[in-house]
Structure 1
Amino acid sequence: MEEQHHPTTPFGRRSLTLAHLASQAIAKARPPERAVHKWNVFRAICTARMRIGVSERALTVLDALLTFHPETVLTGDGLIVFPSNYQLSLRAHGMAPATLRRHLAVLVDAGLIVRRDSPNGKRYARKGRAGEVETAFGFDLSPLVARADEFEAFAEAVRAEERALKLVRERITLCRRDIAKMIATGIEEGVPTRQGGQGPADWAEVHALYRGLIERIPRTAPPAVLEPIAEELSVLADEILILLETHIKTQIPSANESQTERHKQNSNPNILPELEPRFPESQGARSAPTPPSSRSSEGSFPLGMVLDACPDVSDYAKGGISNWRDFLATASVVRSMLGVSPSAFEEAQNVMGDIPAAIVIAAILQRGSAIASAGGYLRELTRKAETGEFSLGPMLMALIGSRKREKKRA
């Protein structure tokens, strides 16, 4: 019996490229006794699909092609499958013929399969008298066997990068949480930021440095890009911790007394703590307090919606934000860090109400470097609120929409 000839060129107007010839050469050079588990190879290709250059839809077609090979192990010479477009489309979840042909071409170009077209372009097999397949025309799965080790190496590299990315993102998250809460503690406890005439002028400057690092974090980036940022955040966290620990050491003699005083001041849980420190009458004071029911006891928007739009504010909460009281106290800390003056914040509270003003502070924090002057921006919104030109709803919905778009891109 004459030796079977394996066609090299595709049928019809399809062109032959050097990449196609290279794939055929790799398939031809594989040892005949080489055997691989077809689904193990397929899983490796799925993991490394971005490196190989195939889409999810193309992998759906490859999955369908593999089901036409009767054995789980790919070995030997009988690796050509010859399904009709109709049957292949059914196993590819009803994929349209034109889409099917496009993704088959992608698999060929990526070197995952090789075309073995018949003289008339049809796919079929010719059997001998004993019933064995003598000649087959269709798609040759030999490259999967020949390149199995290469695909597994790609997949392992991808898994290693994913592990490294997960670790560096965890490190960034922990540093962000620690820095935000330590800054909040430093502000509330009045911890000085300068030691021996050196260091940042105040906690607002420390917070600005922190936000500058956060703004550098891209939406999607490899570990090599995130590692330097994680290192800078770690250094900043260590420096802030040193500030707090140094302050604790200098305050040890009066620690018990100060703790007792704070306990007495907060002994009544029904009194909302002051959100701003006292300041001279010349800076202005509220002429008459507004009833709590209209100013601070409840918000016009659900707290969950506000936190969904402005998640960064939660980083500065000592024990989390579970109610509006927690939110107001956290917003007061954030206000100081953003450099918003007490008078600007008080004016916003007078015009908008306590909770809406606090929501605006959280929104300003969320927008980060997009707002050059937090205090000036708050005063502008306050003026618009006085004339009815500003509403919180569109601002919150814009922030929620922006976060959803970022997640989708990521």
Structure 2
Amino acid sequence: MVLTEARCGINDAPNEILLLICKELPRGTLATLCRTSRALLGVAQHVLYVQISLADYAYGLKRLRSWCLAINAHPHLATRVQSLVLRLPNLGSLPESLSFDDAHQLQAALRRCTRLQRLAIFKADRSARRGCNAAWLLGGCAFRLHGLINEYFALDDDFASFLSQQTELRRLSLDHIERTCTGARYLGAFSGEAMRNVITASVPDHRDLRPEWRLERLEIAYRVSSNDALRLQDYVRTLTVLNILTPENWRYSRVCLADSVDPISKLLPNLVHFAAVDIISLNATLLNMLSPHVSVAGFQRLKTLTLMIWNNVLSFSSEYDANEWPSGRQYHVNVNEYIFPDAPSSGMEALVEHTAQACKSLERVIIGTFDPVSRKHFKYVAKGDAKGRISVTAEAPADKFDFLSVSQFGSE
């Protein structure tokens, strides 16, 4: 048989087979094939429009306008959208801003996406500190989200109204946002059925926590000396992953979050993953604090412990005397011949090893530091294997400590 006689045209292939092919192809390849074969176009739309990402701002608003045009011209495409990621400039009249014409086109497109389940909105200018009072874009939207990430909208009356209608939310992430609404300024004060089913939350304030949530994962800006710890007690039975981060307005504080290991071990002994991360190097360096290897024994199930301390701690101590002076073994963070003339090297390798040994369930301990003299970042890692052996590594990454690469908050 001649090969050309046995060849089957793509138009003759069942849609089920074409759909399987489309799902296996990279999105870029699939889009290219659709431009050369109209037979694939109808089936490919079931794949191409399910998850939409317009987060690459290299093309400005060109891709956003193109997507809005397609959605508004072809409503059947809108009903296929389940996940949408946007990166938007601020609303305004400047050339680089989101114009009101573009905003109204986006609002119309969002209203058509009635089956949208996951929405993430980021700022085009990541250094911008102010949120955008443009949540009216979400007005009239009928979708009920399962996941929402907001780093763009300020918490104004429009955004508060939108949140109050979201009864199916399971995952919620709010950046450090301005609160300009005239009603409840924190999520914890919202009434009714709003957001009752959230199990994963990233919020900038303990007042955004709701007691009826059955949180399993939480990332929060944590104030050691406030009521934050008391609010965490509401989730003692359910919480397994906790990341605490330095609040943005604590640059001049003398509080280092590594000091929270001991109270958290008593408050939430069933945590599986715990991270305490100082976002910035504080202006005032702490002299000493209790070593984490003393505290981790209070955890019953902990598998990973991550501490990012910059140069906010000079040393850790295994105990304190009656006068609250550090005693016992000292673990020096950085070598400083003027402060610790007898310390031959940093004690961080020993600290991560002893911390891993102190809690039987621990599989990994990471401590990130910064040496202000050499201007280098250091990462110390202790890992345990099934036979109880612990390996320790130390490295000096070229850039600062990459917390997202080791965080368990977003892992499944």
User: If the length of structure 2 is used for normalisation, what is the TM-score?
Assistant: 0.25
Higher strand share: 2
Higher RCO, 1 or 2 (CA under 8 Å, sep at least 6)? 1
Higher helix share: 1
**Higher gyration radius (CA):** 1
User: If the length of structure 1 is used for normalisation, what is the TM-score?
Assistant: 0.25
